[in-house]
């Protein structure tokens, strides 16, 4: 596992630019095959990213993620607050595109099932610090679900969170392997002030 910085995409895009793929040779550790990401994180999301070194390992990891057995925990600083201190949002997500705004995920009965649990860890000054546990792995799931709850992720301009750096962290992940594997990522620098205002202590 690695701690992916915010602003760095996992895969190289059609327009080029740096990505996690540029750093994979440094993680080969003398092996002929480069490790590969076993799942995806948005470019602007920091935190835990799982890599697999062999095809069988990647297949096994992919099965864990597809079946929901990989336990993922996210932290987000959001604008506003959810309707309760904790709960679950079950809202199907559908990809929608327009010429003016590009694509985004929207809550739509025709979309794929998506379920996210949340609890509030702190709040201050119109912001809230949430712990989120996605039970499914849809594109932009946490970002779209936070917006659906009326509290978009701070800095997530696509979903109503305003400009600036996105305050979303893949905080921890646990994999039921033999032996079990788990990792925790520290908050990136751009999230620390808002988290501290909401009660986080380093």
Handedness of CA 146, 148, 149, 155 (dihedral sign): positive
Question: Which one, of 111, 118, 115, 112, lies nearest residue 168 by Cα?
Answer: 118
Q: Active-site residue 44, yes or no?
A: no
Catalytic residue among 3, 42, 163, 178: 42
**In whole angstroms, how far apart are CA 119 and each of 110, 122, 133?**
27, 9, 9
Hunting for tokens 């679950």 — which residue is that? Answer: 88
55 backbone dihedrals φ, ψ, rounded to 5°: -60, -45
Active-site amino acid positions: 42
């Amino acid at each position: 596992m690695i701690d992916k910085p915010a602003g760095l995409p996992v895969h190289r895009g059609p327009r080029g630019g740096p990505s996690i793929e540029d750093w994979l040779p440094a993680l080969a550790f003398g092996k002929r095959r480069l490790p590969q990401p076993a799942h995806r994180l948005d470019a602007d999301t920091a935190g835990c990213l799982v890599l697999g070194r062999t095809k069988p390992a990647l297949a096994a990891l992919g099965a864990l993620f597809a079946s929901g057995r990989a336990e993922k925990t996210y932290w987000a600083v959001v604008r506003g607050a959810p309707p309760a201190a904790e709960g679950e949002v079950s809202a199907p997500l559908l990809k929608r595109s327009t010429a003016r705004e590009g694509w985004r995920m929207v809550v739509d009965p025709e979309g794929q099932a998506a379920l996210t649990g949340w609890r509030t860890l702190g709040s201050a000054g119109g912001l809230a610090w949430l712990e989120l546990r996605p039970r499914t792995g849809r594109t932009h799931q946490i970002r779209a679900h936070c917006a659906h709850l009326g509290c978009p992720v701070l800095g997530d301009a696509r979903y109503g969170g305003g400009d600036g750096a996105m305050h979303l962290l893949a905080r921890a992940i646990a994999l039921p392997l033999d032996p079990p594997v788990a990792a925790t990522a520290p908050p990136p620098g751009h999230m620390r002030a808002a988290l501290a205002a909401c009660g986080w202590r380093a």
